[in-house]
Structure 1
């Protein structure tokens, strides 16, 4: 039996469950799932010490909301701005994900609905608050969409960041943690990817926008030695907080693998599209380095600590150091959920693209999120595998295909009904490659361990089993 008080709230009373499982119970129980041996990161010490304010742009989204939770746990005072592009509204003015964060931590935060392109609003915000640092998530993030809408990506990501940097400079806020991406490496010249690997050979506008922003920040730090910046190159975030109260449920058709697989598993989508099986990898499908989102969020806390060393501009890979192919991920989901994976059909694909043989090891590059709803017990009453919980949720927890998307954060919605849906297969079909994708890349995260004291704690099987 799990430490959690039931697989889901009785009578769909979400608030009652959250009160019973917050702070003293839920977080103390779930925190060990991360497996981290790192000491707690605290900002303030001694009586009367003042907590430091951190601005979090785009903080209501998937990675942002998990990071805000970790900020609160570490003693920071986060001020969050978001324009709801990839987040859903709660009952009031605050996003649903951040309402959940407050419930889980028992601590309050400040939120303002704001677009980073709104220069006047940013000016007012910086006049109102004395920020110690900024964590910059805000921006467009889908590789495939960026190929179709390059100007949107350059306008939002580049212009928004330039305005943010200008306002930070004007107000003397010169500490920055930037949400970058492994896409800046382009097609890998060698594996695993370390921070010294050449950048700039990006295969899509999303990656190019991240590369351009990195170069801008490095130039700013060179020009003014008072600036300190940590650029975090994410690999593929998946998973959710152990409570299941915050996670990832992308709006529209998922751009990334894990949300797609899970939506197929619960019947929201007919089949998983596997984009290409002609890559020069072990099974022909693309490979990625999947990292748990809570591990990733903790990396931002470690980065803030690094800023206090007057570090200048530093760059770190945040990944596990191991890559898995699409089909390996699907098989891991099969094992965790107890559902059979079946191939529907294979389209005729063009001749394989030329791709240099890099390694027999598998590992990836583009960032990936995942849909999740609940932390599983050790086993279900009927003896099915841990992650079979995903397929046993009533419609109020796993929205039916006709239901509107929950947006950027997966949240439990109270409602009627407790009947279990039929167990489903996880069907997939192979289709043509997606423009802008690369075959394989995975991280060498040793520098983050050496300089930040940070390391990923969960492997793929545990991520797929526990969904913590």
Structure 2
């Protein structure tokens, strides 16, 4: 299949591009580079040994999006593109709703016009909200969120559920990620956030490489084994293979839209992640316990049964694997990707 990968120059996108190419598919990247760097493309081409077309456009621009579909015949779309920082979404809700919803609407309009009937959508475990019981199951309803970023995922899922039955043949897999970490084992591609990292792993990595003074741990008095929050961390390479499995499963789906959790099914605490990263680095890392952050849940982890049964996919990499690969990336790229 020839697959348009929106947001393909970001974090999860490049790993998925490599998985697609390794499986014999073609990939075309579309990314406006607002949260990524063009230099990732050279690394992807070096790792894959293949030329990878890339278009730098804003997918909220319907005309430019349609033009890409008009110029290239696609078999499927994997849609990663979107703003993703929870804290920033609270500060800039309008920008998040405009970008994350308009880009999806623009892509689906172009898909409808050019008869592209396969879509894998990047959703999130944030759609389960604070009331869903653990482990999170795809059967839970109603979906809700605690911040504008999460609501854009809930709304996009609803848009796709409403639209899919009206477009003949359209099949959509909604992939609800938990906490992607790690990097490609080559150390050539990895997570390179703009500014201060919003997520635990890149923050720890930047402390380890000397870019940050110390790790801030927000709360050690939760009702968990060591008092810190539990999250379901998944290696980005396992996640990429989940996208490949979903893409290749679309034709077999009996319903137009189906959600799948991509996680390990196990909660790992902040202290456990810190110890695993210290093991990878070979030394203790400085940290400080700070007050809890508003809105943080004590625990969040998946029931990944559906993905295993229907997609034939299962996460295989351990937290030690994730931290070792994340450290290799950060050690070899202390300031992230080069500009340009």
**If the length of structure 1 is used for normalisation, what is the TM-score?**
0.67
Correspondence for 2:189 = 246
Count of residue pairs brought into register by the alignment: 326
Alpha-carbon distance between aligned partners in 1 of 2:81 and 2:158, rounded to the nearest angstrom: 17
CA contact (8 A) 2:123 2:175 kept: yes
C-alpha displacement of 1:284: 2.5
Correspondence for 1:463 = 322
Local SS of the residue matching 2:95: helix
Correspondence for 1:442 = 301
Gaps of at least 5 residues in structure 1 are 1-51, 89-94, 341-425
1:103 aligns with 2:46: yes
CA contact (8 A) 1:144 1:434 kept: no
Alpha-carbon distance between aligned partners in 2 of 1:171 and 1:466, rounded to the nearest angstrom: 40
Alpha-carbon distance between aligned partners in 1 of 2:2 and 2:279, rounded to the nearest angstrom: 43
1:64 aligns with 2:13: yes
Local SS of the residue matching 2:104: helix
Correspondence for 2:222 = 279
Alignment partner for residue 323 of structure 1, among 258, 263, 267? 267
Alpha-carbon distance between aligned partners in 1 of 2:99 and 2:325, rounded to the nearest angstrom: 36
Local SS of the residue matching 1:131: coil
Alpha-carbon distance between aligned partners in 2 of 1:308 and 1:132, rounded to the nearest angstrom: 12
Alignment partner for residue 338 of structure 1, among 268, 282, 286? 282
Q: Which residues of 2 match residues 192-207 of structure 1 at below 5 A?
A: 192-207=135-150
Correspondence for 1:223 = 166
Q: Which residues of 2 match residues 280-319 of structure 1 at below 5 A?
A: 280-311=223-254, 312-319=256-263
CA contact (8 A) 1:200 1:208 kept: no
Alpha-carbon distance between aligned partners in 2 of 1:210 and 1:449, rounded to the nearest angstrom: 23
CA contact (8 A) 1:186 1:438 kept: no
C-alpha displacement of 1:195: 0.9
CA contact (8 A) 1:144 1:436 kept: no
C-alpha displacement of 1:279: 2.7
C-alpha displacement of 1:286: 1.6
Correspondence for 1:432 = 291
C-alpha displacement of 1:337: 1.9
Correspondence for 1:453 = 312
Correspondence for 2:331 = none
Q: Which has the higher helix share?
A: 2
Gaps of at least 5 residues in structure 2 are 329-340
C-alpha distance 310-281 of structure 1, shift in aligned 2 (>3 A): closer
Local SS of the residue matching 1:98: helix
C-alpha displacement of 1:443: 0.6
C-alpha displacement of 1:333: 1.4
CA contact (8 A) 2:262 2:304 kept: yes
Correspondence for 2:2 = 53
CA contact (8 A) 2:182 2:324 kept: no
Local SS of the residue matching 1:176: strand
Alpha-carbon distance between aligned partners in 2 of 1:310 and 1:192, rounded to the nearest angstrom: 24
CA contact (8 A) 2:184 2:325 kept: no
Correspondence for 2:28 = 79
Alignment partner for residue 260 of structure 1, among 203, 218, 221? 203
Local SS of the residue matching 1:247: coil
Alpha-carbon distance between aligned partners in 1 of 2:102 and 2:292, rounded to the nearest angstrom: 30
Alpha-carbon distance between aligned partners in 1 of 2:51 and 2:212, rounded to the nearest angstrom: 37
1:163 aligns with 2:106: yes
**If the length of structure 2 is used for normalisation, what is the TM-score?**
0.92
Alpha-carbon distance between aligned partners in 1 of 2:292 and 2:142, rounded to the nearest angstrom: 23
Alpha-carbon distance between aligned partners in 2 of 1:233 and 1:289, rounded to the nearest angstrom: 12
C-alpha displacement of 1:436: 3.8
Larger Rg: 1
Alpha-carbon distance between aligned partners in 1 of 2:225 and 2:25, rounded to the nearest angstrom: 44
Local SS of the residue matching 1:308: helix
